[in-house]
Amino acid sequence: MSIDAATSALNLSFPPTTATGFVVPQSRSFTVSVNPVVLFSILDHYLRRQEKQHRVIGTLLGVRSEDGSEVEVRNCFPVSHDETDNQVAVDMEYHRNMFELHKKVNAKEVIVGWYATGSNLNQWNALIQDFYSREVMPPFQAIHLTMDTDLKNDEKLLGVKTYVSAPIGISAKPENCLFLPVPCDVKYFDAERSGLDLLASAKNDPNRSTSLFSDMDNLEKTIKSVYEMLERVTEYVNKVLDGSIPADNTIGRFLMDTISVVPKIDKVEFEKMFNGHLQDLLMVSYLANMTRTQLTIAERLQLLI
C-alpha cells in the first residue's frame, strides 16, 4: 500500500527485506544546527514511551536559510506510531493538528523533518521519510534526526546524527532511497548555556541533583572562570617566549584581536567603575527583597481584615 496524504494514518505493509537506508559519505553542502531544547524533548518522549515500544518518532520544527543550505531545528513534538515487523502506522491527523496549533504560537517555524530514537536505520525509515518529504515546503528536503538513546556508540551528543534522502532506482518508490549524512551541531544562546552548565554539574553529585546559584555565586564563578582562562593564556605566552613550544600564528592573531577590543582603562578608574557597578547591583537586590517582604506583609494584613 502506498502513502496517502489524505488518510489519517500511515499504514504501510512491506517485506522487511525492502531496500532502505543505504548510507553514503557525508555531504558538506548542507548543515544542520539543533537547539538543546529539542534534544531534551526527544529524551523526555523516549522516557514516556509505552512499555513495549522500542523507539519513538516525532516532527522537527525550525527555520531555513534563504538558499536552504542551513537548517536550524528549534522545536519538536512527538507523534504516535505503531511499528511491527510487517507494517508501520503513523498518526498523520495528530501530526497535522499539532502543527496547526504550533503555527498559532510561532508562525515562523515550519516542518523541517522528523526524529527517531535508536542508533541504526531500519526498513521503515525510508517510508516515514517519504511522508515527511511531502510535508516539508518544496523544494527543500526533509531532515531525519536519529538519537542513540541506548548509548550503544561511544560518541558525543548522545550519538545525534542527521540525514537527508535521495531517491535511487529506475522506478520512484518510497522505500528506495539513500540516506546522506549531513553535518550537525548543537546551537545554544548564552541564557541556555547557564542552564546546560547547571545540568552538567549534577552528574558529579551522588543524588544527581543540583540547585540554582545566587547572583553573587554566579558572579564569583564567572570571575574564577575568567581568571583561569587568563592563567592558561599567560602560561602559553610565557612558554612561547621561552622557546619551550613553537609559536602558532593562528593563536597569536586570535589573541591580538581579543586584546585589541579590550578598552584601555586606568587601573584605579576600572576598580572604581567595578565597585560602583557592584554597589548598584547590591542595591537593586536589596530593594527587590524589601519589595517582596512588603508585598508578603500586605497580603497577610489583607487576610486579617
Residue range 244-257: mean pLDDT, rounded: 90
* Per-domain residue ranges of the chain: 31-191, 214-303
**Tens of pLDDT along 178-223?**
888 888 888 877 777 777 777 777 777 777 777 777 777 778 888 8
* CATH class of this structure's domain 31-191: alpha beta
Residue range 44-49: mean pLDDT, rounded: 90
Is the pLDDT score of 112 beyond 70?
yes
Is the pLDDT score of 232 beyond 50?
yes
The grid cell for 176 is 528506495
Predicted structure pTM score: 0.63
Under a CB-based contact definition with an 8 Å cutoff, are residues 125 and 21 in contact?
yes
**Tens of pLDDT along 3-15?**
333 333 444 433 3
Lowest mean pLDDT, pick from 57-66, 256-265, 284-293: 256-265
Residue range 297-303: mean pLDDT, rounded: 87
Give the pLDDT confidence score for residue 156 in this predicted structure: 52
Give the pLDDT confidence score for residue 152 in this predicted structure: 65
pLDDT averaged over every residue in the chain: 81
Please report, for residues 40, 89, 93, 112, the alpha-carbon distance to residue 7 in angstroms, rounded to integers and kept in the order given. 31, 11, 8, 21
Q: How far, rounded to the nearest angstrom, does the alpha carbon of residue 197 sit from its chain's CA centroid?
A: 14
Under a CB-based contact definition with an 8 Å cutoff, are residues 31 and 82 in contact?
no
Please report, for residues 22, 59, 65, 196, 205, the alpha-carbon distance to residue 13 in angstroms, rounded to integers and kept in the order given. 20, 22, 36, 42, 48
Count of beta carbons in the 10 Å neighbourhood of residue 12: 22
Give the pLDDT confidence score for residue 126 in this predicted structure: 85
